[in-house]
Amino acid sequence: MNDPMQPTLPHRLTASALQLAAVALLAVLPLTLVQNLTETRRADRLGAAQRAALAEVLSPALHDNDLLANRFLLDPHSSGFTSLEQLGLTEPRSAYRARLGGRVSGVILPVETALGYNGRIVLLAGIDTEGRLTGVRVVTHAETRGLGDRLEADLSPWIDGFANRSLANTPAPLWRVKKDGGDFDQFVGATITPRAVVAAIHSALLFFDANQDSLLDAGPGRLESQP
């Protein structure tokens, strides 16, 4: 006869299964915590790198909000903005709204051009509330070494030549390289790429001018989504 004081076989199996599950949980938990911590640190590093890049386009002196938390999407296939094609976007890209003391102080717009010597160039352009460029940076390009160096701020000051330019202080005929009668330097022995970048940034200012009210709308959260 079975001893009523002894657990039956199913009960013993259940207890063993629970013990195994507990051991497995204790083994997995530290790994999960380490993985989560690693992912958090990776996300923190990525966020810091993104903020540093945005700071080169729109100085922290011009805003006191977190630009990453004040991003909004510009979708070339679905947008409420006028003449979005002026930005040349081929896919949805993030733009950023800057605020200072609670008031909108500027925006950072993504810009693309397919007319570089070696194809597509993606840029970010910062624009303040007066329509002046606060900075321009190239995000990606496929230009050859040497030619592409002129696009990179840490290798050449050329890209900084856009700072403080606007539609008001630079008439349309001057938004060209000097070889074409404009205000902007071309690269030595190369005109195609700088010509494409100058035209793209001019188009970005035209887009800003056409959509200024929406882009600078200070309504809390308008068009913005948390990352």
Whether residue 86 contacts residue 76, with contact meaning beta carbons closer than 8 Å, is answered with: no
What are the tens digits of pLDDT across the range 76-126?
987 689 999 999 999 999 999 999 999 999 999 999 999 998 889 999 999
Global confidence as pTM? 0.77
Whether residue 91 contacts residue 114, with contact meaning beta carbons closer than 8 Å, is answered with: no
Please enumerate in sequence order all residues whose Cβ is within 8 A of that of 124, keeping only pairs 6 or more positions apart, or say none. 53, 54, 57, 108, 109, 110, 111, 136, 137, 139
Residue-averaged pLDDT of the chain? 83
**Token code pair at residue 27:** 């083994």
List 104's β-bridge partners, or say none.
99
What are the tens digits of pLDDT across the range 150-203?
888 888 999 999 999 999 999 999 999 999 999 999 887 788 999 999 999 999
Side chain identity, residue 219: G
Higher pLDDT, 36 or 50: 50
Side chain identity, residue 54: L
- pLDDT the model gives residue 202: 98
Whether residue 176 contacts residue 197, with contact meaning beta carbons closer than 8 Å, is answered with: no
- pLDDT the model gives residue 117: 87
Whether residue 224 contacts residue 71, with contact meaning beta carbons closer than 8 Å, is answered with: yes
- pLDDT the model gives residue 223: 46
- pLDDT the model gives residue 90: 95
- pLDDT the model gives residue 148: 74
Q: Reply yes or no on whether the pLDDT at 22 is more than 80.
A: no
* Nearest-10 Cα torsion for 63, 215, 122, 183: -90
Q: Reply yes or no on whether the pLDDT at 75 is more than 60.
A: yes
Average pLDDT of 15-33? Answer: 66
Q: Reply yes or no on whether the pLDDT at 208 is more than 90.
A: yes
Assign residue 221 a region: left if phi > 0, alpha if psi is -120 to 50, beta otherwise?
left
